[in-house]
Amino acid sequence: MSYKKKSTRMVKSGRKREKWTDILPRYLTFISHMRPILRETRRKIIELDADLLLDIEILDKIRQEEEKRNIRKVRALSEFYTMYRSNVYDIIKDFILKYRETIPIIDIKDYIIEFLYESIGALNVLRHITNPDESSLEKTFLYVLTKFIEERLFSRGRNIMIIYNKLLKYSSDLYECQRHILQPHTYYREKLERSDFFEIPGMSPKVYQLINNITSLYNLDPNFGEFPERGNQELPMILKTEVFNPYIDSIANAEEEAINQIAERIGLRVIDEIFIAPKEDLVDIMLENNFIRENKQSDEKIRLLPKLSNETLILYYLALASQRRGFLSKELINWISMNFAFLIYMGILKWKLSDQNIFYPIFKDLQTNEKVLPYLMKLVCFPNYLGLDKLKIRDSPQYRKEIFNFIGSQIDNLKEFINEIADYCEKFDKERKNN
C-alpha cells in the first residue's frame, strides 16, 4: 500500500506551478549576460586610442579575442552571447563607417561610450527591476510600473463601480489603449459561448462592432420597459433582432447564440428573450457618470433616458474583466500580460536610452524580446502585481513567435503611453534616490 499523497489539484501534465524563485532567475539569465558584454566593450573602447577606431579591422580583432573568452557551457546561452556581441560590434563599426568623414573620431568615440553607458544603465534597471525576495516591493520598478499601468488600463477596486470610475478617469487620454488590451490578436481562437459562464474571453472585432451597434441603438430610438428591480422606473431596451439584423450570411450566428454571455460582459441582460436592457449595476454606473438621465413622467414613473458614449459599454467590459481577473480566458491573459510586459520594458528603455542611441535596435530586436518578455509576462502575473493565472501563459515556441505578431500590432496611443511611463520612471527614480 502506498502512502504517497495524491494531489487534489488538477494540473495539466508537464505544467508545474512555477514559483517566483523559478521565474525570476530565468528572466535574469539573458539580461545578466547582456550587461557584461556591453561593459567589456565599453572598457575596450575607452582604452583604445581614438585614431585606432578608424581601422575597422582592429575592432574585428578585439571581438575575436573576446569570443575566445566565451566560457558558457549552455549552448543557447553561448549562441546568444555570440549573437549579442557580434551585433554590438557591428553596430559600432557601422556607426564609425558612417560618420568618420563628418565627425571627428574623438567625438565618435565619446558618442559610442555614451551610448554604451546608457545601454548599461537600461540593463541595470532591467536587472534590478525587482527584489528576489520581494521585499520593499513599493520601491521596485516592476511593482510601481505594473501598478502605474494597472491603475490606468486595468484598475482594481472593491466593486465594479469604483473600477469603472477609475478607468473612465483615464479614458480621455488612454481609451485606445484600454480598448486595445481587451482585443487579443488571437481572438479567432476564443470561444464566445462557454460552459463556464464566469470565464471572460477577449473582445473580437465582431463583438466590438456589436457593442457599437448596441450603443447606437440605445442612443437613437430605444424602447422603454419596466425596471424589474425598481418598480417606479422604466429601463431603456432595444430589440435583440435589431442588433443582429445587419448581418448577412449568418456571419454573426455564433454571437447571436452567445448573446446572453456577451450582454452580461457589457452590463446588459436579455429580458423575455426579446429585449436587451441594462442591469442594475450598469444603471447605477451610468447614472453616476451622466450616461443616463432620469426623466419624470406625468404618471410619476421615472424614465431612464440613455446618453451613451463610445466607451460606456467597452469600459464596463474592461472593468468586469479586471474584477474577475481570476477567470479570464487563456488568450486574454496572455494578451494582457504581454501588453504589460511590453509597456514596462519599452518604458524603461525610453527613459534610459536617448532616441539616437545606436544600440536601441538590439533592445528592440525580436531575439532579445523573446528572451525577456515571456518571463516578464509571468512575473507581472504574480499576486502582488496583476494577480492573473500565470499557468495560462503559454510556454510553447509557437507562442513565443506570437510575440512577433503582437509587436507588429502596436498602436499610436501605446507609443504615447510608453512616453508617459518613461516620464514616470524618471520621477520615481528621483523620489527613490531622495528618500
Partner 1 sequence: MAEIQNPTWKELLQQFNKGLEKAIDELEKRDAENIPGAKEALVQRLNNMKLHFPKNNGDIFIKSINDKIQNAFFPNTKIFSEAFDKILKSRSHEQDFIINELLNGFVTSKAKAIASGTQGPIINRMVEAFSKRNDFNIIDHQFYAMFGDPNKPRHYIKNQLEELVKMFGLVSKELVVKKDVRRSEEKVYTFYTFPDDIIEILEEKYLIIDEELGYAYVSDAFDRNVFICMFLANVSINRDDIKKIGGSYTINGISAIFALILLLSFMPKLSVDETNPILNDPNFNEDNMSVIPKSWMMRQVLDPLFEPLIKIIAYRLGGGLWLTKIIDSEINKKIMNQIRFLLKDVNKWILGELVRVEIPIFVEIANIFTEIVVGYDES
Residues binding partner 1 (CB under 8 A) = 94, 97-98, 171-172, 175, 185-188, 205-206, 209, 212-213, 215-216, 219-221, 245-249, 251, 290-291, 305-311, 361, 365-366, 397-398, 401, 404-410, 412, 415
Q: What is the DSSP letter of 328?
A: B
Could you tell me the smallest distance in angstroms from the CB atom of residue 24 to partner 1? 27
Task: Give the residue ranges of DSSP H helices in 71-204.
Answer: 75-99, 105-127, 141-153, 160-180
Q: Radius of gyration (Cα) for the chain, nearest Å?
A: 27
Q: Between 120 and 318, whose beta carbon lies closer to partner 1?
A: 318
Whose Cβ is closer to partner 1: residue 8's or residue 398's?
398
- Which of residues 32 and 367 has its CB atom nearest to partner 1 in the complex? 367
Taking CB atoms within 8 Å and a gap of at least 24, the contacts of 72-79 are: 72/33, 77/29, 77/30, 77/33
CB of 364 to partner 1, least distance (A): 8
- For the bound state, the minimum distance from the C-beta of residue 187 to partner 1, rounded and expressed in Å, comes to 8
Residue 305 C-beta: closest distance to partner 1, Å: 8
* Nearest to partner 1 of 28, 282 (CB atom): 282
Rounded Cα distance, 109 and 96, in Å: 9
Positive or negative torsion for Cα 266, 268, 269, 272: negative
- Buried b vs exposed e over 83-93: b needs ≥16 C-beta within 10 Å? ebbebbbebbb
Q: Decide whether 165 or 219 has the Cβ nearer to partner 1.
A: 219
Q: Which is nearer to partner 1, 189 or 427 (CB)?
A: 189
Instruction: Tally DSSP H helices, then E strands, for the chain.
Output: 17, 6
At 345, list the grid cell.
520594458
Q: Least Å distance between CB 406 and partner 1? A: 7
Q: How many Å apart are CA 222 and CA 153, to the nearest integer? A: 31
Q: How far is the CB of 169 from partner 1 (least distance, A)?
A: 9
Minimum distance of partner 1 from residue 97's CB (angstroms): 6
Return the number of the residue (131 or 219) whose C-beta is nearest partner 1.
219
Integer angstrom CA distances of residue 197 from 35, 148, 200:
47, 31, 8
**SS3 state at 1:** coil
Residue type, 66: E
Helix intervals (H) in 48-74: 56-68
Residues paired with residue 304 on neighbouring β-strands, in sequence order = 294
Of 150 and 331, CB closest to partner 1: 331
Smallest gap from Cβ 193 to partner 1, in A, equals: 17
Q: How many CA atoms lie within 13 A of 198 on its CB side?
A: 5
Taking the least distance from each CB to partner 1, the nearer of 11 and 220 is 220
Q: State the Cα–Cα distance between residues 366 and 374, nearest whole angstrom.
A: 12
Minimal distance in Å, beta carbon 314 to partner 1?
10
**What sections of 130-289 are H helices per DSSP?**
141-153, 160-180, 205-220, 240-244, 253-257, 259-265, 280-288
